[in-house]
């Protein structure tokens, strides 16, 4: 099996990561490679936003506002963006197009996010893509400074892989059950 197949086959989501994170300049070459995903019309209908430091706190506040929570429930929700020192917001930045539907543009943005998560994992970083019902709310939209044509797809939570991290376990599939011909 090739190195690429082995690397992708070992990929797992890391729900807990350490405080160590890649710096902006380390992300740039990974984003350049992630941009090679399939993109009908070469529209590049996506963008990524780094959230570090106070930006994560502001996101937590926006999530609380969107959920309409107070007290202990609000406090639990507000700290969710603090589970990693780096969040990368994945944004579908839809372009006007007569030939490329919104769903195709969203798929290209999701492809960039998945490719970036694979590239980060290959560099030794722990990554987990998180979303949820608050992703498409107005307070969260506003917290990211998104345009009307943009849709937040979620966040990549990025950090170091804890020393006690266990290998990912996924039930094996029979690929024949998922690949057919007509």
Q: What is the pLDDT of residues 10-25, one digit of tens each?
A: 777 888 999 999 999 9
**Cβ-Cβ contacts under 8 Å for 166 (sequence gap 6 or more):** none
Q: Which of 63, 90, 83 is nearest to 74 (CA)?
A: 63
Beta bridge partners of 90: 48, 154
The answer to whether the beta carbons of residues 91 and 48 sit under 8 Å apart is: yes
Radius of gyration (C-alpha) of the chain in whole angstroms: 18
The residue ranking higher by pLDDT, 6 or 173, is 173
Give me the pLDDT at residue 1, please.
Answer: 58
**Domain edges within the chain:** 16-160
What pTM value is reported for the model? 0.93
* Burial classification of residue 9, based on how many CB atoms lie within 10 Å of its CB (0-12 exposed, 13-18 middle, 19 or more buried): exposed
- 108 and 46 in contact (C-beta within 8 Å)? yes
Task: Place domain 16-160 in its CATH homologous superfamily.
Answer: NADH Oxidase (3.40.109.10)
Report percent pLDDT > 90 for the chain: 83
Mean pLDDT of 159-174: 84
């Amino acid at each position: 099996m090739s190195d690429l197949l082995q690397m992708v086959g070992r990929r797992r989501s890391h729900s807990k990561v350490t405080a160590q994170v890649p710096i902006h300049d380390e992300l740039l070459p990974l984003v350049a490679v992630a941009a090679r995903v399939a993109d009908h019309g070469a529209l590049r209908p996506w963008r990524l936003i780094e959230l570090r430091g106070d930006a994560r706190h502001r996101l937590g506040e926006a999530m609380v506002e969107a959920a309409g929570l107070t007290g202990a429930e609000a406090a639990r929700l507000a700290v969710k963006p603090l589970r990693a020192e780096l969040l990368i917001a994945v944004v579908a930045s839809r372009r006007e197009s007569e030939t490329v539907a919104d769903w195709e543009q969203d798929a290209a943005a999701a492809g960039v996010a998945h490719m970036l998560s694979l590239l980060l994992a290959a560099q030794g970083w722990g990554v987990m893509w998180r979303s949820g019902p608050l992703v498409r709310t107005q307070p969260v939209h506003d917290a990211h400074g998104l345009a009307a044509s943009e849709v937040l797809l979620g966040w990549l939570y990025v950090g170091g892989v804890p020393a006690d991290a266990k290998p990912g376990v996924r039930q094996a599939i029979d690929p024949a059950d998922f690949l057919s011909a007509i």
